[in-house]
Amino acid sequence: MNVNLKRLKEAWSGGRNLLIIALLTLAMSAAFIVFQTTERLATIVDGEKTIEYTFRGEKSVKDALLENEISLGEMDEISQPLTDTLENGQEIRISRAKEITVTADGKEYVFFTAQRQVDKIISQLGLRLENLDMVYPNPEDEIDEKFSGEIKITRVVEEVVTEEQPVKYSKVTRNNQTLDKGVVNTVQKGKDGLRSITEKVVYHDGEEYSRTVVEEKMEKEPVEEIQEVGTNVYIATSRGQTRFDQTLYVVATAYCSCSQCTGPGNGTVTASGARTRANHTIAASTQFSFGTEFYIPHFRGNSNRGIFVVEDRGGAIKGNRIDIYFNTHEEAIRFGRRTLKVYVLD
């Protein structure tokens, strides 16, 4: 009895194993049938076009494309490898290559790419973007299917430059009653200053685009020039306080009535018609009309007390030159040539 029971148990155990195997096989077959017959869905996004693809059984990405008559160009990109097995609910994205023009650094790059993001297209070309560079469209933008323009990179460089510029000094004049009219004294000499100007210069593709002053500094203040201008118009002469029109320094020479001094003809008659007189007659340029009186302090000890009258002219007597008449040739030679201060009386 014991033995029989044991055998029975063994038999049962063996049968159970078989049963389990049979049941498993059945379940797998059922699952396989379900797998083969259940409809599943994948989405294919091909540019603007979206295709809902229903399939049964095991399909690869490549199968999906073939069944939908979708072909891929050499430069087109697809989101999954063609050999991948399709799963329910999967989305396959196809990015079609597009002709893109990128201009940068004076060159134009025309090429096909499936890439849509601007900065990625740029790096595909091996171009590097620097901090300040300007890109159109924006690097993080994605170009859409309608985009037909070009991607433009403008290289931007900023430079800070400092230049020094001289600052012209100004001039001031002051009247000085103690100085004779016509006298100008420089009491303080003018000196140019120095200003530094710092500018930010922006270059677009190597060409100056803008210039902005960042800082302006006076490195050295200019020194103004100060001049004193004489306003006194009175000079003490033998006539008392005599009003004068101007003072000037003249180059004075001397002459007499000899032919050496005045050439052929009558040397005693002046250009004004008056007779020459020592201590009286002088020749001056035409800016001084006949009859103009000159007070020449150098001669104040003479009988004329230094007062002469313009009565004559001379070929060499131009500008600030005068010729003083003497009675004899010797006197004229002795006088020679001197620079004298002259008051032109009113």
Beta bridge partner(s), residue 35: none
Nearer to Zn ion, 121 or 261 (CB): 261
- For the record, the structure tokens of 76 come out as 């087109």
CB of 278 to Zn ion, least distance (A): 12
Least Å distance, CB 263 to Zn ion, is 10
Q: Does 317 bind Zn ion (CB under 5 A)?
A: no
Give the angle subtended at the CA of 274 by the CAs of 236 and 299, to the nearest 5°: 30
> CB-based burial of residue 186 (10 Å sphere; 0-12 exposed, 13-18 middle, 19+ buried)?
exposed
Please, which residue, 267 or 297, has the CB nearer to Zn ion? 267
User: Which residue in 308, 310, 312 sits closest to 299, CA to CA?
Assistant: 308
How far apart (Å, rounded) are the C-alpha atoms in residues 126 and 139? 15
Nearer to Zn ion, 173 or 328 (CB): 328
Take residue 192 and report the two structure tokens written for it.
């140019």
Question: Candidates 145-153, 242-250, 294-302, 326-334 — which segment interacts with Zn ion by CB under 5 A?
Answer: 326-334
- Does the bond joining 264 to the residue before it have cis omega, within 30 degrees of 0? no
Q: Which of 92, 261, 283, 342 binds Zn ion (CB under 5 A)?
A: 261
Q: d(Cα 272, Cα 274) in Å, to the nearest integer?
A: 6
Contact string (CB under 5 A) for Zn ion, positions 210-239, x = contact: ------------------------------
Assess contact for 68 and 45: CB atoms under 8 A: no
Q: Note whether 256 binds Zn ion by CB under 5 A.
A: yes
Alpha-carbon torsion angle 315, 321, 322, 326, nearest 10: -80
User: Which residue, 29 or 260, has its beta carbon nearer to Zn ion?
Assistant: 260
Amino acid found at 52: E
- The answer to whether 283 contacts Zn ion (rule: CB under 5 A) is no
Q: Report in angstroms how near the CB of residue 333 gets to Zn ion at its nearest.
A: 8
Is the CB of 92 or the CB of 283 nearer to Zn ion? 283
Q: Which stretch binds Zn ion (CB under 5 A): 19-27, 81-89, 104-112, 261-269?
A: 261-269
Sole binder of Zn ion in the list 329, 331, 340, 341 (CB under 5 A): 329
Q: Which is nearer to Zn ion, 31 or 258 (CB)?
A: 258
Nearest distance in Å: CB 253, Zn ion: 11
Choices 30-38, 121-129, 173-181, 259-267 (CB under 5 A): range interacting with Zn ion: 259-267
Closer residue to Zn ion (CB): 8 or 258: 258
Distance of CA 284 to the CA centre of its chain: 58
Residue 186 in tokens: 């420089």
- Span from 74-82, 161-169, 241-249, 252-260 in contact with Zn ion (CB under 5 A): 252-260
Rounded to an integer, what distance in angstroms lies between the CA atom of residue 327 and that of residue 261? 12
Q: Minimal distance in Å, beta carbon 265 to Zn ion? A: 13
Nearest to 261 by CA among 327, 320, 321, 200: 327
Q: Which residues bind Zn ion (CB under 5 A)?
A: 256, 258, 260-261, 329
